[in-house]
Amino acid sequence: MKKITFLLSIVLLVGSAQNASAQYYFYDSKYYDSPLIFEIGVSIGAMTCLTDLGGNKGIGKKFVKDINLGKTQFSGGISLGAMYKDAIGLRLEYTYGQVSADDKSIKKSKAATTYGRYDRNLSFKSKISEFMLAAEIHPLTIFRKPDEDRDPPRMSPYLLAGVGFLSFNPQAKLNGKWIDLQPLSTEGQGFKEYPERKKYNLKQMVIPIGLGVRYELSNTLNFRAELVYRIMNTDYLDDVSTDYIDPNLFLNYFTGTKLNNAYSLSDRKKELDPANNSVVGDQRGNPKNNDAYFNFNIKLAYSFGRQRIKN
């Protein structure tokens, strides 16, 4: 009987120690905080892209200077994450949205200033479907001194980086219908005449990087504002990368409607000027820079893992 009593005492002590570890300080007058907090959230926001097409007025500029805000579109997402001691987080997130660009959206104030971008007359749109696994770092919490108040700041800026898996499908509008561009090999992708130009994959890995700020509304709800930029491994988000090919090559690979679509969507200069003929090898895109897309989100998340204090 004494042995059983002793063993029960040990179990209770271990259990108490584990519980004390899990409830390592008071969150407020009603809850203990836990080293590991989980959250599930939803987000809405705006998504746009940086590609060879469209952009701001004049010649293409670097990074954000070439963003055409008029092409910004809606995005949304859901996420599931975990936060360790309010300092390091890990989350899995699904994001859905759409990106688009149009050369005709460039203001043609002076023809020479567009360097052919307006006259190229290409356009695209693509739905974006992305899964992302990302880590967060909250520096205000990480770099707090040990003797400081243990309660985390209610507002916490953070950095994030991770890896994502993207599904996209560039399309262009022709005669009132949206046509998939990848099967048309508009720049000779997959043609034996261009062995270096492989068919691009519509599923790609991306590297998301970003920053945000997290604000605790209560012990169960938090609000976030976040900007995430995706580094891509392809220049074909918009189906444009290199130069014009001989359109007669399409006869070797396509027939019927697909042949007509390839002719029409590979070179659209004549829609603006019938006398504007492209020459084989003329610049169509810029292969030196891969495409990218990014979005700004606001998020509302429900936190769980804290334990209510028993009165």
The CA angle 224-229-232, to the nearest 5 degrees, is: 145
Q: Do 27 and 60 reside in the same domain of the chain? A: no
Rounded CA separation 266/188 (Å):
10
Q: Do 173 and 301 reside in the same domain of the chain? A: yes
The percentage of residues in the chain with a pLDDT greater than 90, rounded to a whole number, is 61
Rounded CA separation 126/73 (Å):
11
Residue 191 pLDDT greater than 60, yes or no = yes
Domain that includes residue 9, residue range: 1-33
Rounded CA separation 96/268 (Å):
30
- pLDDT value at position 2? 47
Q: Do 24 and 86 reside in the same domain of the chain? A: no
Structure tokens given for 143: 């770099």
Among 22-26, 105-109, 160-164, name the one with the lowest average pLDDT.
22-26
What one-letter code names the amino acid at 199? K
Q: Which pTM was predicted?
A: 0.83
Q: Do 147 and 203 reside in the same domain of the chain? A: yes
Q: What is the mean pLDDT of residues 178-195?
A: 97
Q: Do 278 and 137 reside in the same domain of the chain? A: yes
Residues 280, 284, 285, 286: what is their CA dihedral angle, to the nearest 10 degrees?
40
Q: What is the pLDDT of residues 80-102, one digit of tens each?
A: 999 998 889 999 999 999 999 99
Q: What is the pLDDT of residues 228-287, one digit of tens each?
A: 999 999 999 999 999 999 999 999 999 999 999 999 999 999 998 898 888 999 999 989
Model confidence band, residue 70 (pLDDT cutoffs 50, 70, 90): low
Model confidence band, residue 25 (pLDDT cutoffs 50, 70, 90): low
Q: Do 253 and 296 reside in the same domain of the chain? A: yes
Q: Do 148 and 240 reside in the same domain of the chain? A: yes
Handedness of CA 236, 291, 162, 46 (dihedral sign): negative
Q: Please tell me the number of Cα atoms within 13 Å of 252 on its side-chain side.
A: 10
Q: Do 6 and 76 reside in the same domain of the chain? A: no
Q: Do 100 and 237 reside in the same domain of the chain? A: yes
Residue 22 pLDDT greater than 70, yes or no = no
Q: Do 138 and 84 reside in the same domain of the chain? A: yes
Number of structural domains (the chain) is: 2
Q: Do 83 and 186 reside in the same domain of the chain? A: yes
Residue 21 pLDDT greater than 60, yes or no = no
- pLDDT value at position 140? 86
Gyration radius of the chain's alpha carbons: 27
